[in-house]
Amino acid sequence: MEYDVCIVGSGAGAGPIIFELSKAGYKVLVLEKGPWLKTEDFSKDEMTATRRDAYTPRLADECHVIEKKDDGGRWSKESTAESGKSLWNGNCVGGSSNFMSAYFHRLKPKDFKLFTEYGEIEGANMVDWPISYDELEPFYTKVEEVIGVSGKVVPHKHLEPRSTPDFPYPPLATHMVSEWYIEGGKKEGFNVIPVARGIISQPKDDRKACYLSNYCGSFGCSSDAKGSSRAALINKALLTNNCEIRPNSKVFQLESNSEGIVTNVWYYNEKNEKQQVSAKIVVVAAQAIETSRLLLMSKSEKFPNGLANNSGNVGKNLIFAGGGAGSGYIDYADIQEPELSKFKSPATFVNQSLLDFYEIEDPTFNGKAKGGTIDFLIEHSAPMPKARTAKMDGERILYGSELKTSLHNYFTKQKKLRFEIFCDWLPNDDCHVTLDDQVKDKWGDPVGKIKLGFHDQNIKVGNYLANKAIKVMQNIGAKKITYSITGNPPTNLMAGGCRFGNDPAISVLDKNCKAHEVANLYITDGSFMPTGGSVPHTFTIYANSFRVAEKIMAHLQNMQP
């Protein structure tokens, strides 16, 4: 088979490329490191989904090395095989999009020009994007229709321009506490608004509507309502007979020639045999850390420091999501019937957000600064995290009758409410990916070493937003409110490492996500993002991938004899 495009990975950055090129008649090969799990393989078994390596590699086989500062300010490193703190997010067809919570916020126009809007921040590598919101807007709209986004557009002061008046699917059903959050915000003059979700509330093609299982985030979807790359895009691409998926195929090198062209993609198959394949264009979408790692491993005479890395930018400016989370409790004893019966509902969708402080106007920030997003939630239905909380009394572990009483009270006398803070993780020189010079994976390849340095602005903004969220929680009667804003990244939200830009001296990719130095290499996962915005990244990764799909098709047309 002669392939037009070979795609490494199959998650949100790959799905639109697979979908659009297969539909257009191009021959597409997908190399996915993980297995090909189908809808029937996903269950709501908590042990399988969250406590075992069901969807991610065993750390003994494939780990990372994390480098962090200790309390004394000294850098030290540790393998995740030793710490058990995995950075893997979903290695299977469809990638981590199978397990996302699917909170779909668009970036705002100002997110595309943070340097212009807010100026230089000492210690942060701030740059404007090489594209504008207006260039990406049609593709946000396309994601809403093709992937399927449910929600309700309501006015607020940071509402981004839209080419359509509303989302294509009506909002998902929510717990009654959603209205409490709205009213709790009003008491402070805040405008708490609905959040769109990349989950369909009505059937779409062969996908069933969400059946409100209450086991969503971290769990694969057994109805295909969640807009994963697999369910929404790849399954349709396969119907064209132009798409081939090779699971259990771990790519370890992109071979290139003296002209800077990728000539072969080398991978291990499920028997651990080395295989190679070629295509006119190669697309890498292996998630930010692994994409940088692959390029750094792909050395040649022309690229002695790694493919597309003669500028030395590959792996630099890795970003996550800044912020943190908080919680409080509502005691059943404080609520009267009939409201109490409704409040006890096991429903876990809340889908309410506070965007009033997406831009902060406050003297403590010299007048104006980029802020962020507050999402309000209820504790997940999964019982194991609840049990882990209930087994502790401060620093003391409970046993016997004390533990039984604590478990009984936790599950029957209260409900835990939560909030999550999202703000920009400022790119900096102490957050990047390199290759570890000692630790190797089961194939003998060097693992990625991730230095996790963060900027103090992340903490300052996160704390400012948390104090706003606490006021809403207090207004609805929550007690025992606690929160944590730290420099520990949520590793399911990673981007950067191969940022795009107009200047090859400070970027890896051009504005169309083609490598500056490699004529037939595109990167379409979150690696392209120079800044991440103050929202989860997946919606924007999907939109950009649809945009780049058009550029790749134009590229292929120009290559035709």
Nearest-angstrom CA–CA distance, 524 and 496: 11
If pLDDT is split at 50, 70 and 90, which confidence band does 246 have? very high
Q: What does the DSSP 8-state code read for residue 109?
A: G
Is the pLDDT reported for residue 560 higher than 70? no
Q: How many domains does the chain have?
A: 1
DSSP letter at 492 equals T
Contacts of 239 (CB under 8 A, 6+ apart): none
Q: What digits encode the pLDDT tens for the residues 204-235?
A: 999 999 999 989 988 999 999 999 999 999 99
In this prediction, residue 232 carries a pLDDT of 98
Q: What is the reported pLDDT for 12?
A: 98
Token pair of 172 as six digits: 């998902």
Whichever domain contains 191, its CATH number is: 3.50.50.60
Q: 144 by DSSP, 3-state: which?
A: helix
Residues of 518-556 as b/e, b for ≥16 C-beta within 10 angstroms? bebbbbbbbbbbbbbbbbbbbbbbbbbbbbbbeebbebb
> What's the half-sphere exposure (Cβ side, CA atoms, 13 Å) at 334?
9
pLDDT tens column, 462-500: 999 999 999 999 999 999 999 999 999 988 899 999 999
pLDDT in tens, 353-386: 999 999 999 998 988 999 999 999 999 888 988 9
The reply to whether omega before 338 is within 30° of 0 (cis) is yes
Q: Is the pLDDT of residue 1 over 80?
A: no
Least confident of 87-91, 169-173, 176-180, 241-245: 87-91
Give yes or no for a contact between 131 and 511, defined as CB atoms under 8 angstroms apart: yes
* Residue 416 structure tokens: 């835990």
281 DSSP β-pair partners:
5
User: CA dihedral in degrees (522, 523, 529, 530; nearest 10)?
Assistant: -60
In the predicted model, what is the mean pLDDT of residues 43-69?
Answer: 88
Residue 46's pLDDT band, with cuts at 50, 70 and 90, is confident
Average pLDDT in the 100-125 region?
A: 96
How many angstroms separate the most distant Cα atoms in the chain?
A: 78
Rounded to two decimals, the pTM is 0.97
Question: Token digits for 531?
Answer: 């800044």
For residue 554, the enclosing domain spans: 3-40+49-559
With H, G, I as helix, E, B as strand and everything else as coil, classify residue 513. coil
Q: Report the share of the chain in percent with pLDDT over 90.
A: 91
Instruction: Give the Cα-Cα-Cα angle 430, 434, 435 (nearest 5 degrees).
Output: 150
In this predicted model, what pLDDT tens digit does every residue of 499-530 receive, in sequence order? 999 999 999 999 999 999 999 999 999 999 99
Quick one: pLDDT at residue 561?
Answer: 61
